[in-house]
Amino acid sequence: MLVKRIGLTAGGCGIQHGIGRPSVYHAVVVIFLEFFAWGLLTTPMLTVLHETFPLHTFLMNGLIQGVKGFLSFLSAPLIGALSDAWGRKSFLLLTVFFTCVPIPLMRISPWWYFAMISVSGIFSVTFSVIFAYVADVTQEHERTTAYGLVSATFAASLVTSPAIGAYLSASYGDSVVVMVATLVAVVDICFILLAVPESLPEKIRPASWGSSISWEQADPFASLKKVRKDPTVLPICITVLLSYLPEAGQYSSFFLYLRQVIGFGSASIAAFIAVVGILSIIAQVSFVLHIASFKLI
């Protein structure tokens, strides 16, 4: 049977179905569609941001991204702990849905659009659930390659989507871009509902979901204290922090800087993103192949 029964939802409320066995490719499609939808909005979002906050564009952009990131930091451990009890599919649906909810609001109400982007940070942790999904469906020696494939897919989703969004915006207006992005997000949600099978085996789920959750582990600040005491994990966390701190700051404001300060047009920004995305794909694939060959040796 193509559609197979995977297991029960939390509390036995219903049955979760999916197409085939859970695999890395289910995760790849989810990530691609989510970030493709947001990539389409790159050019319209820069325009709406400047029109909504003409005097404080960079400040408001930083505040919006900062609030979103801080809320993601607070919620990520809790969502991870809950997904260990309820299953990955429920939280893939939850994170993708609430991350994409602000998209149609861009044309309805820009103020609500940016407010919802900030608040959506509570659920903007799709990558965390995706990596847990990948860990469920792969063996330990396969995970480096699988994680690299997911990261490369994320980059691939950003190669063409800004250019497509810029073309649609120039040809048909921003409203069409928002409509297409909304449709892509809806397709992603439907794909999770209908095609993604649950990856967490029923036998390892607890009878009562709440009993398995360590609220201390779900507390991000408690997790930081544990990391500080681990001589192996601490240097890795510091390396990741020092790597992503400047990258996150650059990513949140760079395209706005290109538009407002340097004067790049929509096509130039889209081309720039495409080049960066292609280089990122090459780097991810090369790195994964290098690690895989190193393990074989």
Average pLDDT over residues 261-284: 77
The string of pLDDT tens digits covering residues 27-45 is 999 999 999 999 899 888 8
Is pLDDT above 70 for 292?
no
At 4 the pLDDT is 38
Identify whether the C-beta of residue 63 lies closer than 8 Å to the C-beta of residue 115. no
Residue type, 41: L
The string of pLDDT tens digits covering residues 1-27 is 333 333 333 333 334 577 878 889 999
Grade residue 107 by pLDDT with cuts at 50, 70 and 90. confident
Sorted by where each begins, the domain ranges of the chain are 20-296
Indicate the fold that domain 20-296 takes in CATH.
Answer: Growth Hormone; Chain: A; (1.20.1250)
At 156 the pLDDT is 81
212 vs 97, which has greater pLDDT? 97
Ramachandran quadrant class, 265 (left: phi over 0; alpha: psi -120 to 50; beta: rest): beta
Residue 176 CA to residue 174 CA, distance in Å, equals 5
Grade residue 246 by pLDDT with cuts at 50, 70 and 90. confident
How, if at all, do strands 3-8 and 15-19 pair? antiparallel
Residue 164 CA to residue 166 CA, distance in Å, equals 5
